[in-house]
Structure formats: C-alpha cells, structure tokens
Structure 1
Amino acid sequence: MSATLHPAPAATPGPIPNFASEAERAQFTPVALKALRRLLEAWGVTGHEAATLLGVSATTWDRMRAGRWSGTLSQDQLTRASALIGLYKGLHLLFADGMADRWPGLPNRNPLFGGRTPLVAMAEDGIPGMIEARRLVDAMRGGL
C-alpha cells in the first residue's frame, strides 16, 4: 500500500510593507539602520555619501551610525534603505568575491549610470536611481 504524497500548503506571504504607518516604520527602523551601517561600511562609503543616500544630514547620519539616534525613519528613508539593502543582497548573490562590495564604487558604462559610479548615480538620482540599480543587478543575476 503506497501513501499519497500531498504537497505542503504554500505559505501565504504577508502584506508587502509600504512603510506608511508609524508603527511599521518604528518596527523596521532599528533593523534597517543596522543593515545600512554594515553595507555602507563594506562599500567604503563616506559619512557625507551615506547621508546623501539616506536623505539625512551628515550630522544625523553620524548619530545614526554611532547608535545615538532614537528617531524613526520616514517612509522615504525606509524606501531608500530597502533599495540599498536589496542591491547589497543582489550583488552578493551575483558575485562570489570582493567585487560585490567594490561594484557600487566603480565607474560603470551601463547607460543607467553613464560613466558614473553606481553610488554617485544613486546619490544624484535618488530613490528612482536606487530602484533602477537594484533592478539592473536583479536582471543581471536572472532574478527578473
């Protein structure tokens, strides 16, 4: 007598966070800041560059980096953090060596960057540039 195998029910994903509610932002802020501190350090980003990428003043970034900031990131700031964290993850899936952390700081001929480094492009182009950089890396690794 053989047993019939039934696949496990698919996990129902929760709602995609849009960071609109204060409670949701308060929940995600500490984790996002911890991840940002690590990835921006790995990328060799200066304090001024980090502040620009996150959309805060250099002084605020210094407090955030040192763990002396007790605020909640805005919806805009969490969207920026999410794009950067996703880009970091995508780069580490794409490259098996140190290139994952060097790539954001290297001049890039892709039309998206126009010879700029991805970091400069993202700083200058804001959230749309960050999302496009992430989408490019996801497409390069076959994730789209």
Structure 2
Amino acid sequence: MSHAYAYPTSHFETTPLVDLNARPERERLSRSALKGFFQLAAAWQLRDDDARELLGGLSSSSFYEWKKNHERVLEVDRITRISYLLGIYKALHILYGDKLADEWIRLPNTNAIFRGTTPLAYMLGGGLLAMQTVRRLLDARRGGL
C-alpha cells in the first residue's frame, strides 16, 4: 500500500520564472529596463559616475550611448542589477511619500546594515549583493517586519 503525500490546494498562482540566460527574454526586457533605470537615476538625482557604478562599472562612453539609445540587449548581471534597483524604487514609493522616497538613498541611515552611511554608498561599495540586501530590507518593511 502506497501513501502519496500531496500539498494542500492553494489559490496562489505562481508566475513562471524568467530565464535571463535566454537571449529572447533579455531582448524583451532590456529596452524597458534601461528606460526605467534612467528614469530612476533622474528621480534619485544620481551622479553619472554613481549610475555607471550601479550598472556594474560601465565605461563613460557606453553609459552615454546607452542613455541616448536604449536599443540593446543587456547581460544577465545588468538586468539583475536594474531589477533590484527598480524594486527598491518601487518599495520606497510605497513606503514613503515621493519626496522622501527619492531622497532616501542619499540620506545617512542609522540601520545597522548601513552603519551610518547612505544606502547609496552601501550599494556602491557592495554591488549586486548590497542591492539585494537593500531590496530585501525594504520588502520586509513593506510586509510589516
């Protein structure tokens, strides 16, 4: 006699994961990712050097070309970085009014994660993993933690 274990039925629908290793998916997402990133950079009043570093150390010439022309296919790393940053942007605008949401990354922060520096300095110094940490912190705050 075999006993099969089954998970309870759920009304929660999961969305399929996007395979960023698949070029067609990156082609589909890249233009809107870049457009969103440059809008975020303007809202946050990022210096070009900081924006380039958040993108993973992009050269000046590439940065200005990307700023003028969003028609390109981004690598997995850059799409992931932009995804975290857009998630941070969205969470901030849910948690705070627009003015504070856009200033938050440039304000010194007493949270132990930031050690008195700004969230921007933390992300510039820690790269992708720091962006992930900030995103998780804000998502937890949105969830009431």
* TM-score exceeds 0.5: yes
SS at match of 2:93: helix
SS at match of 2:74: coil
Q: Any residues of structure 2 matched to 1:1-144 within 5 Å, and which? A: 12-55=13-56, 56-67=58-69, 70-142=71-143
Q: CA deviation at 1:12?
A: 4.2
Q: How many residues align?
A: 135
Compared CA separation, residues 109 and 81, structure 1 to 2 (3 A): same
Give CA deviations for 1:12-56 in whole Å, capped at 9, x if unaligned: 443122411111111100000010010111000011110100112
> Hey, what's the Cα distance between the residues in 2 that align with 1:14 and 1:138?
18
> Hey, what's the Cα distance between the residues in 2 that align with 1:15 and 1:57?
34
Partner of 2:6: none
Give CA deviations for 1:105-137 in whole Å, capped at 9, x if unaligned: 111121211122111111110111001001111
Is this contact kept in 2: 1:91–1:100, CA < 8 A? yes
Query: Share of identical aligned residues, percent?
Result: 38
Please report the RMSD computed on the Cα atoms of aligned residues, expressed in angstroms. 1.9
Gaps of 5+ in 2: 1-10
